Amino acid sequence: MLTIHSDDHRLHHAAFEWAGGERVPAFETPQRADQVLAGITTHAIGQVIAARRFGRAPIERVHDAAYVEFLSTAWARWQAAGRTADMLPYVWPGPRMQQRRPADLDGELGYFSCDVYAPITAGTWTAACAAADVALSGQARIDAGERAVFSLCRPPGHHAGIDYMAGYCYFNNAAIAAQAFLDGGRRRVAILDIDYHHGNGTQDIFYTRDDVLFVSLHADPREAYPRFTGFAEERGSGAGAGYTVNYPLPSGSTASAWFCALGAACEPIVRYRPEVLIVSLGVDTYEDDPISSFKLRTEDYREIGTRLARLGLPTQFVMEGGYAIEAIGRNVCGVLAGFDACRSEGVKA
């Protein structure tokens, strides 16, 4: 399988995050993507090519232009104020408060975010644009007839909503690719999100629409980040009613429970008859992931690839989470190799 990559991801490097009331080293590091890239070579997944640039326009097809503009200038404004540490929000509009854009940087930081997990650093804008380019370059290859590609996006994207950053995410790479498919003439795109965490941002972007089916398998929000979305009763609204499908699973779920939910999640996808499938590929479902609780083992990732290949659809894998540095390369490559092996056998659903 072809992999798309950009070295610019390394420009985004958070110093720390908050966990249990303490500052701890950031879990979302440049090393993650480096390890996945090394795995692509070790496991002989295939050719790796550099992303090309697409600019702001395809990003603004799913994100609010004011949010994009804010991200593009935030670090320079922060520096001009004499600050050097990572930018983090401290205050958000709570229930029944005014949803009004503040006039200064500290206020805007809260206005354009919903948690403390998306610090802006010196290289965040460049890296986030590069991740969108990695997604768009993969989209273009599928559009040109490739059966499957892997967009090695970093920073990840599925927690970023229309006008907010969150959960290590700034631009929603999978959503940007989905919109590009539609803008290129495809009529129905399915996104299957198998990251441990609910893809609240992707859900936000497509919640009222029927041209993108969003199906997510994730830890029950009652017990896991992002806490306030991902419940089974969230099913889309207006024209989008029925086109968001959530499968929350209990904390500690094992592979057998997880694969059972995957089987269920494939049903609405098959019924929808999408022209293309985007997989938000997180491997933080792994048993030794440091921030998650599912119990998938390395051998399970190959089986995921096999199951997804059986859907018989043009498929774009987009990298999301996964924080067990030692295992991230082999787990991601397991999915890709399982997909490729099944596809070369010509197995169809």
How far is the C-alpha of 192 from the C-alpha of 311, rounded, in Å?
A: 12
Taking the alpha carbons at both ends of the chain, their separation in whole angstroms is: 20
**Dihedral sign for Cα atoms in the order 281, 284, 286, 288:** positive
Per CB under 6 A, 317 contacts ligand SP5: no
Q: Which stretch binds ligand SP5 (CB under 6 A): 62-70, 210-218, 283-291, 302-310?
A: 283-291
In whole angstroms, the minimum distance from the beta carbon of 44 to ligand SP5 comes to 27
Query: Which residues in the 184-213 window bind ligand SP5 by CB under 6 A?
Result: 195, 197
Among 138, 274, 321, 334, binds Zn ion (CB under 5 A): 321
Which CB, 234 or 320, lies closer to ligand SP5? 320
Among 320, 328, 337, 340, binds ligand SP5 (CB under 6 A): 320
CB 5, CB 134: distance < 8 Å: yes
Per CB under 5 A, 282 contacts Zn ion: yes
How far is the C-alpha of 167 from the C-alpha of 117, rounded, in Å?
A: 5
How far is the C-alpha of 140 from the C-alpha of 136, rounded, in Å?
A: 6
Which CB, 13 or 343, lies closer to ligand SP5? 13
Among 321, 329, 334, 338, binds ligand SP5 (CB under 6 A): 321
| Number of residues in contact with ligand SP5 under rule CB under 6 A | 16
**12 catalytic, yes or no?**
no
Is 99 exposed, middle or buried, given 0-12, 13-18 or 19+ CB atoms closer than 10 A?
Answer: exposed
Cα atoms found within 13 Å of the Cα of residue 219, Cβ hemisphere only: 24
Mark 95-134 with x for binding to Zn ion (rule: CB under 5 A) and - for no binding: ----------------------------------------
Q: Which stretch binds ligand SP5 (CB under 6 A): 143-151, 164-172, 207-215, 310-318?
A: 164-172
CB 226, CB 205: distance < 8 Å: no
In whole angstroms, the minimum distance from the beta carbon of 10 to Zn ion comes to 20
CB 150, CB 279: distance < 8 Å: no
Query: Which residues in the 161-200 window bind Zn ion by CB under 5 A?
Result: 195-197
Closest CA to 279 of 331, 205, 202: 202
CB 289, CB 323: distance < 8 Å: yes
In whole angstroms, the minimum distance from the beta carbon of 16 to ligand SP5 comes to 12
Query: Tell me, what amino acid is at 188?
Result: R
Per CB under 6 A, 154 contacts ligand SP5: no
Which residues contact residue 69 at a Cβ distance below 8 angstroms, ignoring those fewer than 6 apart? none
Greatest Cα pair distance in the chain: 59
Among 39, 119, 167, 334, binds ligand SP5 (CB under 6 A): 167
Cα pseudo-dihedral 312, 314, 320, 323, rounded to 10: 50
Among 5, 159, 186, 307, binds ligand SP5 (CB under 6 A): 159
Per CB under 5 A, 155 contacts Zn ion: no
Q: Which residues are catalytic?
A: 159
Kindly list the residues in this chain that would bind ligand SP5 in the complex (CB under 6 A): 19, 117, 156, 159, 167-169, 195, 197, 225, 282, 284, 290-291, 320-321
